[in-house]
A and B are shown apart, each in its own frame.
Chain A
Amino acid sequence: MSAKESVLAKAVWQETKPASPAVRNSRKRSVSDFLVYAAGAVLLFIVACALVPGWIAPYTPTEMLTDRIMQPPGGSHLFGTDYFGRDIFSVVVYGSRDSLLIGIASVAAGLLAGGAIGALAGYAGGIIDMVLMRLLEILMTIPGILLALAIAAALGPSLANIVIAVSLSAVPGYARVLRGQIMSIKGRPFIMAAHSIGTPGLSIFLRHVLPNSWAPLLVMGTIGLGTSILMGSGLSFLGLGVIKEVPDWGTLLSQGRGYLTVAWWMATFPGMAITLLVLSVNLIGDKLRDRLDPKHTRG
């Protein structure tokens, strides 16, 4: 076929169009890919710690080696030992279970409750929105930790109550973010288009509004994970948590704080564990958000 023919044989729909070939910036891409894989590995390791700590930790967390009190990191004790002579690495490994539980459960509960309130307020609008938002504003005037303290004190110390207390203090934040997103999506022309087609309201909400609104919540949730672990530990520190043989990371952190000048490793390693967890969840969350956005996946 001559060039001329090939040109003229074109139908309208064969327009050269945005197939946007992936002109990739290979260096940038590989760095970000590496980070995500690293984050995945860290997260897997932490989950493994929580599930089968016995396979990973060299000592049991309650074992007190009285001859090796407050030893710095190195040798047979990767993270050093504490004032009882416990191997900090082992304690951190065993402590991952409660930390993860507090973090994930309270974020999940907060997201669900906050999301539901925000979605309802944003989509229904009017008087419902006004009432819900005023209530949340009242809740927001109380500092998060104080609120959690009050709740934990009222309900009594237990793991479940810590989760309730921590998640409740995060509810207003999630609710406000989702409400704002939903209100802006609600005004977009494609919602009007769906109405004009005759799509029922609930279907519009579930298929159009929600999928376009929740992405910021995902990011907030990943950051909230770290805050929740810390707040849970704060409650434990104040004696409102569960008194257990194996302390969670937050508790470890607050216990080690007093020894920062003499034994820096006692607080540093649990702190690093929290940081690593939050960082990796955050990285994966970001990637996930991009993956779920059709604009990022193709082209």
Chain B
Amino acid sequence: MSTLLEIENLTVQFNTAKGLLTALSDVSLHIRAGETVCLVGESGSGKTITSKSIMRLIDFENGIVSGGTVKLDGDELTAMSGRELQNLRGKKMAMIFQEPMAAFDPVFTIGSQIIEVIVRHKLGSRKQAWARGVELLRRAGIPEPEARMKQYPGELSGGMLQRAMIAMALACGPELLIADEPTTALDMTVQAQILQLLKELQQEFNMAILLITHDMGIAAEMADRIIVMYAGKVVEQATASQLFGQPHHPYTKGLLQSITTLDSIRKSRLPSIEGTIPGLAELPEGCRFHPRCPHATAKCVQESPPLLKVNGRQAACWYAGELAGKLGDGQAVVQTNGQSASRPCSPADIVHLEPEPGYSIPSPFIDIIEVKKYYPLGRSIFAKHTSSIRAVDDVSLQIRRGETFGLVGESGSGKSTLGRMILQLEQATGGDIRFEGRSLTGLSEGELQKTRRNMQMIFQDPYGSMNPRWKVSDIIGEPLRVHEAMNASEKRIRIEALLESVGLNPKWADRYPHEFSGGQRQRIGIARAIALRPSFILADEAVSALDVSVQAQIINLMQELQQELGLTYLFIGHGLHVVRHVSDRIGVMYLGKLVEIADSEELFANPAHHYTRGLIASIPWPDPGRERIAAGIAGEIPSPSKPPSGCRFHTRCPAVTARCREEEPKLAQVRNSHWAACHFPA
């Protein structure tokens, strides 16, 4: 295979209000024709900037290539004029973005945007371009492509738009396709479909793919070679099997260990990389990873290691050769240091919070009884409320004291709505919610206020969930101010104690949220949630927006707090492996219905509902040797305004029969404490 893209010693700087910041230093990598290379690393590691530098899109963001070369098929890109680049972009190299919704121009039809690319690069008349557009959309798996060509981006779902984006990227037959987190914004089921599509198209079009991802599972599934970046530098480069088999850089090892897999020991403490990735303005001297590295020595602090060939791969670590043996032996190498060193990862540390037999027979902690939430469609006062969106439709379940109940499902399944109804942030249209035996639905404002002490919430977006004009002390102090009469000094002591209990420096109480990293902000969010010592916490996608390494830190913290404070969690998530790791029991929702509920292990070992099976099958495995056995679920979740008749899943179910289309299955016991709503459970 010939080398298609060759980047040598690329250094990129950005002109910002804080001065000139170096975003990439000395990045060298190459991609051969027809190869898939994955670029992995935490956010802030420079993955996206690398891809944008190849396309020279950094030109539009005050970025400058201040050193090194980028050669595509022998042509030097860094020296090209804007016009020459325009002729290459879209034709020889094309890009797919993370947010398909944002990457399309909303005022033009899908068709006109695809045609524009083809006509711009003089690859045919408008008529030919139309025909090619239809063909491409069909190939990208979009039903009725002719009709879709005439539709606007807003009329298509996220998954369909990402397919259309791929079709557009392929319009001129590029040799290099850059995909920047192409599935991060999509549901797990759709993600599996898109990845499969990319694989097929790569073969067909014989193009090279540079896939940027933070998900090691995706990297394992897709990549021939993997490049690991950290703080603007390449730290390791190896084939997928080499990298997963024996990581040579401590950072790579840390990334691999932070992944929760379906066979990890549930409830155990997850190994994580402590600390956070440094910002560009305060890059450490020497090896940039040394402040977080458990193996750092004086040499690492002083001298920056070059990217060297070790055992047939490249690694930028002074001790890559020596460490390789240690790193590979399966020990938890990226140790937790400092205050958490007292809790190393050992089998003895596994938390068993299984309820004692017979424990759940008395009145459940939270009892959700036939709860419904309908949103009326159409706002006109004159219209009769004949149609409505049934976000949650007749769901009953119980949450036991002290357990973690996981709730999973694609977006649109109603899981977040259900969670908010428990906290009375949304009013149920019907049914009842009982908290410790008391009905919440009929409470007065004052009574509700009192109950809120016991029920708190952790949000998906930690930054968005804090008033940006408030100091941390005010944010954490808000529940105390509302619910407890405390004087200023008492409050201050409580706040500092809370900060310390979530692993933050108590001196940081006077800082503002924007001065913290994502993981630290989520710690602040948790501190606020536990300030009143609640008994129940709703964690709505609480770790979904965080990097894997940080995700592990937060999960560990949540589990520690659960033990210490005897908390009950409702953990809503779309990352199934994460939900499995933390939950005692899991409920699966689909289109407003609870379709399966079982103990965590049982659900993953013997999924009964075909939807659950599909969800599990669509999880990418962080093991390059493992082929995906079962296909995920085809198609996309239908609109909740007109759910399918009978079993709502029948449109996508592989085992559908005539009965499924007509008769709605009731939740029935499959095994002991395992219920599923399916006529023909597997």
Residues of A within 8 A of B (CB): 2-4, 7-25, 188-190, 192-200, 203, 207-208, 211-212, 293-295, 298-299
Contacts and interface: CB of A to CB of B under 8 A. Distances in A.
Nearest to A207: B467
Contacts of B482: 197-200, 203
B520 A15 contact: yes
B643 interface: no
Given A4-B297, A18-B515, A203-B482, A198 B291 contact: no
B293 to A, nearest CB: 7
Contact of A11 (B19, B278, B300, B339): B339
B326 interface: no
Interface of B: 17-19, 274-276, 278-279, 281-282, 284, 290-291, 293-294, 296-298, 300-302, 337-340, 423, 425, 448-449, 452-453, 455-457, 459-461, 464-469, 471, 478-479, 482-483, 500, 503-505, 508, 512, 514-517, 520, 525, 528, 553
B569 to A, nearest CB: 15
Contacts of B294: 8
Nearest to B294: A8
Contact of A23 (B18, B274, B457, B516): B18
A200 B516 CA distance: 28
A299 B467 contact: no
A11 B281 CA distance: 22
User: 7 closest A-B pairs (Cβ-Cβ)?
Assistant: A198-B452, A11-B338, A13-B505, A189-B464, A3-B298, A12-B503, A189-B465
Nearest to A2: B298
B469 A211 contact: yes
Contact of A3 (B296, B453, B505): B296
A293 B467 CA distance: 12
B479 A198 contact: yes
A295 B276 contact: no
Given A20-B282, A193-B457, A203-B482, A299 B515 contact: yes
Contact of A12 (B298, B338, B466, B516): B338
A198 B449 contact: yes
A8 B279 contact: no
Contacts of A24: 18-19
B293 A7 contact: yes
Nearest to B17: A25
A39 to B, nearest CB: 21
Given A23-B281, A192-B425, 11 more contacts: A3-B300, A4-B297, A13-B503, A13-B508, A18-B515, A190-B467, A198-B453, A203-B482, A207-B467, A212-B467, A299-B515
11 contacts: A8-B337, A8-B338, A10-B337, A17-B276, A25-B17, A188-B464, A190-B465, A190-B467, A193-B457, A199-B478, A212-B467
B483 A198 contact: yes
A123 to B, nearest CB: 16
A165 B459 CA distance: 48
A19 B479 CA distance: 27
Contacts of B503: 11-13
A7 to B, nearest CB: 5
A23 B19 contact: yes
A16 B291 CA distance: 8
Contacts of A299: 18, 515
Contact of B449 (A25, A189, A200): A200
B275 A10 contact: yes
Contacts, number: 151
Contacts of A197: 452, 456, 478-479, 482, 528
Given A12-B340, A196-B457, A17 B298 contact: no
A21 B281 CA distance: 8
Contacts of B274: 10, 12, 15
Given A196-B457, A294-B468, A294-B512, A16 B281 contact: no
A22 B558 CA distance: 35
Contact of B279 (A18, A22, A200, A294): A18
A50 B253 CA distance: 72
A169 B298 CA distance: 70
Contacts of B500: 13
A17 B338 contact: no
A193 B465 CA distance: 6
Contact of B296 (A7, A21, A188): A7
Contacts of A7: 290-291, 293, 296, 301
A196 B466 CA distance: 12
B466 A193 contact: yes
Nearest to B479: A197
A192 B465 CA distance: 8
B181 to A, nearest CB: 22
A12 B272 CA distance: 11
A21 B279 CA distance: 11
A15 B504 CA distance: 9
Contacts of A3: 296-298, 300-302
A12 B275 contact: yes
A77 B402 CA distance: 86
A13 B504 contact: yes
Nearest to A11: B338
A190 B514 CA distance: 14
B291 A10 contact: yes
Given A7-B301, A25-B19, A193-B466, A15 B296 contact: no
Given A197-B528, A198-B453, A17 B478 contact: no
Contact of B425 (A13, A23, A25, A195): A195
B512 A18 contact: no
A14 B469 CA distance: 24
**Most chain B Cβ neighbours within 10 Å, of A12, A190, A199, A211:** A12
Nearest to B514: A295
Given A197-B479, A198-B479, A200-B482, A15 B468 contact: no
Given A196-B423, A200-B482, A294-B514, A16 B298 contact: no
Nearest to A294: B512
Contacts of A189: 459-461, 464-465
A298 to B, nearest CB: 7
Max chain B C-beta neighbours (<10 A), residue from A22, A198, A199, A208: A198
B291 A294 contact: no
Given A7-B290, A20-B18, A212 B468 contact: yes
Contacts of B302: 3
Given A4-B298, A17-B517, A194 B290 contact: no
Given A10-B337, A193-B466, A16 B282 contact: yes
Contacts of B505: 13-14
B284 A16 contact: yes
Contacts of A23: 18-19, 281
A200 to B, nearest CB: 7
Contacts of A4: 296-298
B516 A18 contact: yes
A21 B282 contact: yes
Give the most central of A23, A197, A207, A293: most B CB within 10 Å: A197
B16 to A, nearest CB: 9
Contacts of A298: 512, 515
B433 to A, nearest CB: 15
A85 to B, nearest CB: 54
B301 to A, nearest CB: 4
B17 to A, nearest CB: 7
A128 to B, nearest CB: 15
Contacts of B460: 189
